[in-house]
A and B are shown apart, each in its own frame.
Chain A
Amino acid sequence: MAGEERKVILKTEGLTKHYGGVHALEDADFELLEGEHVAIVGDNGAGKSTFVRQITGVEKPTAGKILFEGREVEFHNPVDAREVGIEAVFQNLALADDLDVPSNIFLGREETYFNLGPFSILNERKMLQRSREALEKTGVKIPNLHNSIANMSGGQRQCVAISRAASFASKLILMDEPTAALGVQETTQVENIIRGLKARGIPLILVSHNLRQVFNLVDKIWVFRRGRIAGMLEAGKTDGNEVVSLITGVQTGVHENASYI
């Protein structure tokens, strides 16, 4: 990989977001290369989720530019972001509990027989079949796809959310704390899905609090602190100590057995 010129997939220049007087994100210059998996880490309120929300069109930045595959893009809503190929898995499991798996995977972009606006007839068969393929591709096993999501475990739900993102042949996937609410076994499953994405060459931005996970999964670590990007470290050339000192802003004095490493 070294020395090879790789295409820049996503770049932000001076990305800024203010909520009234709160400067949640300030002047963020970020870059993601083709096939690359990066992590965004930082303390609570460091601006990680805010950053993700700008990239995915959930919110509009106060200032700054987003460049996707070299072109400047402006997202007015999550659909715009999806149309260029950015898929997101959000922290709050953006699933509709009372719907089944195919309905959730295709939520907002249902397959229909013919277009009658809102009254288009759903092509349930095609959605079911493509959901099966999507879950297979990510290696997720769910016994009955017609069960409503509410009856599933946290891990199964998260796998559905990730499969949704991964199945739409997207050019970039963002995951905001995908394993925050999961148990050990399910976390492993999600991590395996992420490795599968790496193998398929789909770039990923992973927001995580879990440094072990970050070191296991990604190539680069972007550290956010107080709404700014504090620095970028290559996962192979750094250690937990360096990352934590960037997160906390304390250059020295982090004990190597600190609990958050």
Chain B
Amino acid sequence: MAQGVRDGIYDLLAARGVSRRDFVKYCGSVAALLGLSEMYAPQIVSAVEAGAKLKPTVWLDMGLCTGCTESLAQVDTPDVASIVLDLLSVNYMETIMAAAGTQAEEARTKTIADGGYVLVVEGAIMTGEGGNTLRIAGKTGLEILKEAAGKADAIICVGSCAVDGGWVNAAPNPAGGKGVLDVMPELKAKTINLPTCPVNPEWIVAMVVDVLLLGKLPAMDDKNRPTLIFGSTIHDNCPRRGHFENGEFVEAFGTEAEVKQWCLYKMGCKGPQTMTNCPSVRWNRRASWCVESGSPCIGCGHVYTNWVDASAPFLSRMTDVNLPGLGGVRPETVGTVVGAAAAAGLLVHGIASAATGRTSGPPMETEKAWDKKHKASKGGDN
């Protein structure tokens, strides 16, 4: 890259209060977020340097609660002002844009006419009542999506509603809420799905870097989810996993077991069948995440049916659920498999459970097998 252009970018960043050092550090954290080695940081740096012009972005509000926009405002690095002012030119985003009505519509139609933009979709695509369950400026939400989708370079569906209708799609789906790819499957080649309710903002940033700066879509599974984010279960990476192994379970809310952060599996935790990296990325600038707060995971990252129908009742252990896809294979609805798999897991680790809702297995042992085995040996402070 010509030195002049490079200097220009650092002048631009400096004017925006970003030092070169901060910038390189930021690229390192983005690399980590993408699951790349820090060695990739220089490549991200040069990719950013190449993009002196801010990428136009259209953020569509469909059948939404605005929670995913709210979630974006909770992003850790870079801060939200940097995203909407320094990384992207967010020409249309109803919740935060200055313009309204005609002036807002002009901003959207002009950006679409010019092409070369990223489209972000938040909320379910509303198909009920002839699509009139969502009306914007005299059009249906679906008409607005169709106008915007064709010329977009890439489409990022943020949150479960845009991915598969989310809670709006839950039975009996009275308003006809659906996911973007359900109504426009032809967009599959350029769409990234980021489920959960709301979306985790760190993932949006990672995708922005992937699409804009590395210039490609990330590796994705059969449901267009980036595999780096949605490739393993919450249970696999849960900080409470050790307690699961030890057979230490929360049996009721408000108890000492909760203070000790024991495993919430018996309280209905959907961590074993939910594939996201929540335990490592965490939420709200990494302040905490669902399981750490004491609630079982409610499986809001499910994508094979909407997460509410897949995971409710949330405070009951499931014996009939959709297991997440294994190796990209469409999962089957299985009644016995989860019971058997869970039982197998418990047995392998030398424990059993008398939890209500479990289909089989011997009663819970009063003493953990590991303790029994190691009782005689010395250790720790002995």
Q: Is the A/B pair a real complex?
A: no
Instruction: Give chain B's interface residues, CB within 8 Å of chain A.
Output: none
Instruction: Give chain A's interface residues, CB within 8 Å of chain B.
Output: none
